[in-house]
Structure 1
Amino acid sequence: MEFTSAEAEERYAALVRAASRTVVGLDFDGTLSPIVDDPESAHIHPDASEVLVDLARAVAAVAVITGRPARQVLDLGGLEDVGIALAEEGTDLYVFGQYGNERWSSSNRRIHSPRPPRGLASFERELTGVLRRADAADAWIEDKGLAVAVHTRRLPDPDAAFQRIRPVLTELAAKHDLIAEPGRNVLEVRSHGMHKGLAVQTLVDELDAGGFLFAGDDLGDMEAFEAVAALRDGGMPTLLVCSASSEESALVPLSDVVVKGPEGVLDLLRRLTADAREA
């Protein structure tokens, strides 16, 4: 792990002192799970369950805040079993799916979800033609129920294809009163009004958090970073962690700590757990 400044090291030390009241928020893809060509095979890092259970003994709560549907990430991450183990430690696991539109917790094991946004069905009807005209007809379309994600990772030149589809899908989304959220070679189209930053604030308010750590890897985590930065400016101990890759670096300038992928995230969480015990 690499601190980005002397101030970042001081923020880490302050967070360690506040660990017992700290909420740890984690993205899934690229943070707990390696990025793979097929998102349906993006299973959680094999060490993650043990690390999260151990971490739960030192912090107030652990939350996974993801753009994936909650049910999908629960299954891919084995998170229901993690939730049971955390409950035995007197700590809750929270899962906020689809950028916070869906919610699950280990104490209330039902997924709460709203209706699909108006405009999504008509967006999907026009999508195939728009992709064909953008020379990206073979892009993989993932229907998430509350959102549609268009992946270019499987195409011969994923980056070039992403750059072609981004402006035209952003325009099409706006036509149907939706927003287009960019990620790593993926553009997700969903409703206005919910993002990971609001999920962060919900956790702070409901749990009366006294500290917050958030780890993410791409532009879909930007609002969560901004929300945590606002908490820091208000005096709360915080830490922003970037799970860095060669594909995406937008979060690096905003981060206190930069690590190399999920393995680096887990190493940081192990260190936080050990330091909190000694504090």
Structure 2
Amino acid sequence: MGSPDTHTTDLPEPVTPQGRDGLRALLARPGEAVIALDFDGTLAPIVADPEQARAHPDAVPALTALAPKVAAVAVITGRPAEVAVRHGGFADVPGLEHLVVLGHYGAERWDAATGKVTAPDLHPGVAAVRAALPGLLAGLEGVRTEDKGHAVAVHTRRAADPQAAFDALRTPLGDLAVRHGLIVEPGRMVLELRPPGMDKGVALERFVRETGARVVLYAGDDLGDLPAYGAVDTLRAGGTPGLLVCSGSDEVTELRERADVVADGPEGVVALLRTLADHLS
């Protein structure tokens, strides 16, 4: 690898001192850096039907250009790992031989090196809420469920008033989750009932420790990414530089307010990844 290009005029300027430190460290020491990314809304545009979501067409080429120049790349998603791999087109891609996909907020893991998924046993509460949801959601036009195997998601994006349906369901779904030992993870017009004990922050910190990385970039778009933002803040407080990227949207403002860099949705995130790869040539 040649010397990194530290002239950053075509890279976005981070708005915080910590973010500027993180970008400088990433450009100076890419071989010590972990690049971690959410999937839906970050690498893949949000669509009405989650089964139709696919990675931005330039996502895999950008990751392929960047991955050989950094310590590790991971996708951390609430989806099952195998689904994210399939929808992302990540399998058997030259240049992504060491990609890791952490599904179900890190409870599952797919390694490109083996092509295998490792996963925990099913939580019994998931089957219980799966059976209860049809009755609870009866008569709610446009509200649909998504069976994620280790979790169940309730989507309101197709309802006549998606936000009103989302707000109306938060309490009853929260009560249902508590009765069966689960938690509710809110997102962009979705409420996911899943087992406790794992989130994207825990997953990111474990992956950083595993790889021995000394620089981290995390990009996300939704409320489920806030724990990963918190993990980067913790790492920065301990001396590990980090860069927080928000895949911007009008639906969620919390990440935008905490981010060092705001990209224009998945297209902007992919462009940022490609520009980073170009600077590390």
TM-score (ref. length: structure 1): 0.92
SS at match of 1:3: coil
Matched, 1:238 2:242: yes
Deviation at 1:229, TM superposition (A): 1.1
2:16 alignment counterpart: 5
1:222 alignment counterpart: 226
Matched, 1:208 2:212: yes
Of 62, 87, 95, the residue aligned with 1:85 is: 95
Moved more, 159-168 or 28-37: 159-168
The one-character-per-residue Cα deviations of 1:142-191 (angstroms, maximum 9, x if unpaired) are 11110000000111111111111112101210111100000100011110
2:5 alignment counterpart: none
2:199 alignment counterpart: 195
Deviation at 1:17, TM superposition (A): 1.4
Does the aligned pair in 2 maintain the 1:18–1:237 contact within 8 Å?
no
Of 133, 137, 155, the residue aligned with 1:131 is: 137
The one-character-per-residue Cα deviations of 1:9-53 (angstroms, maximum 9, x if unpaired) are 233112221211101001000000000001111111111111001
Of 106, 110, 113, the residue aligned with 1:104 is: 110
1:119 alignment counterpart: 125
**Residue 151 of structure 2 aligns to which amino acid in structure 1?**
A
1:64 alignment counterpart: 75
SS at match of 2:184: strand
1:75 alignment counterpart: 86
The one-character-per-residue Cα deviations of 1:87-139 (angstroms, maximum 9, x if unpaired) are 3xxxx10000111111011112110111211212222222222223xx63541
Deviation at 1:6, TM superposition (A): 4.5
The one-character-per-residue Cα deviations of 1:41-92 (angstroms, maximum 9, x if unpaired) are 111111111100100122111111101111111111110033x4323xxxx1
| Identity over aligned pairs, percent | 49
Matched, 1:177 2:188: no
* CA distance in structure 2 between the partners assigned to 1:28 and 1:2 by the alignment: 24
TM-score (ref. length: structure 2): 0.92
Give structure 2 stretches of 5+ with no counterpart: 1-11
**Residue 194 of structure 1 aligns to which amino acid in structure 2?**
M
1:46 alignment counterpart: 57
Of 21, 43, 46, the residue aligned with 2:32 is: 21
The one-character-per-residue Cα deviations of 1:210-266 (angstroms, maximum 9, x if unpaired) are 111110000011111111111111110111100011111111122111111011101
CA RMSD of aligned residues (A): 1.5
2:254 alignment counterpart: 250
Question: Could you list the runs of 4 or more consecutive aligned residues of structure 1 that deviate by over 2 angstroms after TM superposition?
Answer: 1-11, 84-87, 128-132, 135-138, 274-277
2:161 alignment counterpart: 157
Give structure 1 stretches of 5+ with no counterpart: none
Does the aligned pair in 2 maintain the 1:2–1:258 contact within 8 Å?
no
* CA distance in structure 1 between the partners assigned to 2:21 and 2:105 by the alignment: 30
Does the aligned pair in 2 maintain the 1:4–1:258 contact within 8 Å?
no
SS at match of 1:108: coil
* CA distance in structure 2 between the partners assigned to 1:170 and 1:190 by the alignment: 11
SS at match of 1:273: helix
* CA distance in structure 2 between the partners assigned to 1:202 and 1:73 by the alignment: 20
2:9 alignment counterpart: none
Does the aligned pair in 1 maintain the 2:67–2:95 contact within 8 Å?
no
SS at match of 1:96: strand
2:7 alignment counterpart: none
* CA distance in structure 2 between the partners assigned to 1:110 and 1:145 by the alignment: 17
1:30 alignment counterpart: 41
* CA distance in structure 2 between the partners assigned to 1:176 and 1:50 by the alignment: 42
